[in-house]
Structure 1
Amino acid sequence: MSPPPPEATALNRPITIDFISDVICPWCYVGFRALVTACVTQGNIPTHLAMRPFELDPTTPKEGADRRARLLAKFGGDEARLKEISQALVDAGLQVGIAFNFDAIKTTPNTRDCHRLMRWARSAGVEVECAEALFQAYHVEGEDLSQATTLVSIARGLGMDGDLVARLLASDADVAPVEQELEIAQRMGVTGVPTVLFNQSFAVVGAQGVDTFVAALNRARVEQAAAPEAAAPGNS
């Protein structure tokens, strides 16, 4: 049997998507939902989505910090400005089916353990589901993601071994690999999230709409299909 033509092989190969984000970033949740919707809409384009870590504030203590106090400090105590930004987020969230409930969020967590959990979820085959669960738990349900018990509960809800996750969280397991990925994002010049890489070829930055991500998926597929032809002997 002869091998399939290079174009067919390229079209069948999944588009790799690296979604660089932090779970406490509301715009990341909006962008994540829009991207997932785009992938579903373009069901004829195979994709592989991987969540990559970013920390909005690595100085946040492990036990977390008071969210409202931090936000007011960030905006110079301007309550009106904070309310305006929150409403813009609420409106954007509704467009992709997210019911943001910022009043329920009391604690801004250090998200290093969240990124470790997503890494373990990747091994369990539920990485994307874990990202959705963490986003939902924080932004809609107001769960405290600085608590190991919260993360273990989320893991169990995904069918993961909760006892194992509890033991891993209590250790330094996978701290170094997460730190390495954070350093990679920094070396790449990522300063804002979400940043979404398609086939490690081009990036879409920010919480873009579904149409933008659909266009990116189609661009990635066209470039991927053209690559073997461009590399073939006799082509320049």
Structure 2
Amino acid sequence: MKKLRIDILSDVVCPWCFIGYTRLEKVLGQLSADKQLQPEIHWHPFELNPTLPAGGEILNQHLQTKYQMTAKQRRQSQQKLTELGNELGIDFQFTADMRIYNTRKAHQLMMWAARSQQQTSFQKALFLAYFQEGKAMDDTDILLDIAVAQGLDRRDCQRVLADPGWSSAVVQTEQQWLEAGIQAVPAMIIEQHILLCGARPITELHQTIDGLADTLPSLH
């Protein structure tokens, strides 16, 4: 077997992050057996909207204010995302009353989940809860329920959310990535030296990882 490290910067309310990871997952499913790969995925925080107040705001209003998107542009963008999602088995549910949230708490729990190697299952559950079920990503009880369903301990998670040190850790980690030149997500860093920005096509991911696999040392 060959260990393959992949670092992913993302935000749970970023639809392109959901698409980008799902494409990667499919490629890894294709290549892991053929190339004897043992993927190690490490998730890192990147808040798109760290200043949003509790309860967030209506997504369409947010897109209009932050990105100056017209109603037509929003519809076209969400239709494109829906179509791309359908190709991957993602059922995006963009509704008129869909909200976007501050995700600091989710990132605190994501950092904690690294200790028990449960980041990826937790991240996928968050994506599904937000984009398919419309769950509030800043609601403590909702986040705790999702975490527990993925095998995390509720009391540990409660302590993480109550500890300002974990909130500071998220901010400090994000600042380090910004200083390293990461300005948008998703961003994937493969084997700590290949940077892929944006939701890359499956063919590109396949070619990149396939070519790299032959250079990796075997585990003994």
Q: TM-score, normalised by structure 2?
A: 0.90
Q: Kindly indicate whether residue 41 of structure 2 is the aligned counterpart of residue 41 of structure 1.
A: no
Q: In the alignment, is residue 148 of structure 1 matched against residue 140 of structure 2? A: yes
Give the whole-Å Cα distance in 1 for the aligned partners of 2:84 and 2:202: 12
Structure 2 contact 43–110 (Cα < 8 Å) conserved:
yes
1:115 alignment partner in structure 2: 107
Q: State which of 36, 50, 71 in structure 2 corresponds to 1:79.
A: 71
SS of the residue corresponding to residue 184 of structure 2 reads coil
CA distance in 2, matches of 1:25, 1:118: 15
CA distance in 1, matches of 2:84, 2:19: 7
**SS of residue matched to 1:14:** strand
Structure 2, unaligned runs of 5 or more: none
Structure 2 Cα separation of the partners of residues 167 and 210 of structure 1: 39
Q: Secondary structure at the match of 1:213?
A: helix
Counterpart in the other structure of 2:14:
25
The question of 1:206 aligning with 2:195 is answered no
Residue in 2 aligned with 1:232? none
Supply the distance in 2 between the matched residues of 1:171 and 1:154 (Cα, whole angstroms). 19
Aligned residues: 215
Partner Cα distance (1:107, 1:68) in 2: 8
Displacement after TM superposition at 1:104 (Å): 7.4
In structure 1, what is the Cα distance between the partners aligned to 2:113 and 2:21?
A: 17
1:229 is matched with none
Q: Does 1:136 align with 2:125?
A: no
Deviation for aligned residue 1:118: 0.9
1:184 matched to 2:173? The reply is no
Shift in CA distance, 173/214, structure 1 to aligned 2, threshold 3 Å: same
Give the gaps of 5 or more residues in structure 1: 1-11, 226-236
Show the counterpart of 2:166: 174
Matches of 1:138 and 1:96, distance apart in 2: 17
Describe the superposition over 1:31-68 as per-residue Cα deviations: whole angstroms up to 9, x where unpaired: 01011111111122221111111111222224422323
Identity %: 28
**Is contact 2:6–2:190 with CA below 8 Å preserved after alignment?**
yes
Cα deviation, 1:177-212, whole Å, max 9, x if unaligned, reads: 222220121012111211110111111111112222
Question: RMSD across aligned C-alpha pairs, in angstroms?
Answer: 1.9
Q: In 2, Cα distance between the equivalents of 1:163 and 1:187?
A: 34
- Computing the radius of gyration from Cα coordinates, the structure with the larger value is 1
